[in-house]
């Protein structure tokens, strides 16, 4: 008879996400994970298959929580420019916490690509969702006359995602919101 799982896998994924986010995939050992989660190695393997399975679960958790919240925040702004500014600055604030841990998805791309094709698809899907949400916001803002229609909304959205990726990498080097926030204003000048 199979034993029932004696730990909350969702809570374990959330806690493991923090560990991977702070230290990276390679620097986080199975032993680190089992100690941090308070579970045995057999339990980890039974629940997630292996370290990589747990890592992928943490990336999915990140996508459905923090990344999804960032996209939802785009719908809450009074106008496109303020919504984009708020989203970018909030992403920087999250990235600079814990001495500049950056963004888990961008970190995964920097640390584990190009060797992992399925991870490349995952990162691309996350990036595409951000680009598509921004493109829709920009298209609507152009129709309302909030921003100049001199750029294609899709290209402008792709630029903003690329800018954000660079900003998130920079947050690891310079984990200082005050130093990075002015860069957001420079990027927003592309909306003029």
Reported as a single tens digit per residue, the pLDDT across 171-185 is: 999 999 999 999 999
Q: Pick from 172, 140, 165: which is nearest to 153 by CA?
A: 140
pLDDT score recorded for residue 1: 44
Reported as a single tens digit per residue, the pLDDT across 139-171 is: 999 999 999 888 899 999 999 999 999 999 999
Reported as a single tens digit per residue, the pLDDT across 6-61 is: 789 999 999 999 999 999 999 999 999 999 999 999 999 999 999 999 999 999 99
ω into 114 cis (within 30 of 0): yes
The full set of domains in the chain, from first to last, is 8-58 (1.10.10.60), 74-191 (1.10.357.10)
Whole-model pTM: value is: 0.91
State whether the Cα torsion 115-121-122-125 is positive or negative: positive
Cα gap 48→30, rounded to integer Å = 12
């Amino acid at each position: 008879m199979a034993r029932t799982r004696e730990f909350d896998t969702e809570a374990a994924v959330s806690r493991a996400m923090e560990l991977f986010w702070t230290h990276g995939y390679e620097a986080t050992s199975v032993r680190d994970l089992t100690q941090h989660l308070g579970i045995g190695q057999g339990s980890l393997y039974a629940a997630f298959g292996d370290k990589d399975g747990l890592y992928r679960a943490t990336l999915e958790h990140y996508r459905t929580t923090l990344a999804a919240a960032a996209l939802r925040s785009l719908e809450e702004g009074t106008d496109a420019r303020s919504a984009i500014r708020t989203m970018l600055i909030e992403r920087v604030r999250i990235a600079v916490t814990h001495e500049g841990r950056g963004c888990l998805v961008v970190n995964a791309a920097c640390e584990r690509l190009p060797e992992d094709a399925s991870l490349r698809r995952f990162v691309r899907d996350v990036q595409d969702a951000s680009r598509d949400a921004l493109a829709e916001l920009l298209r609507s803002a152009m129709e309302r006359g909030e921003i100049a229609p001199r750029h294609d909304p899709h290209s402008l959205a792709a630029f903003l995602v690329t800018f954000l990726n660079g900003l998130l990498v920079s947050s690891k080097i310079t984990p200082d919101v005050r130093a990075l926030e002015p860069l957001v204003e420079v990027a927003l000048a592309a909306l003029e």
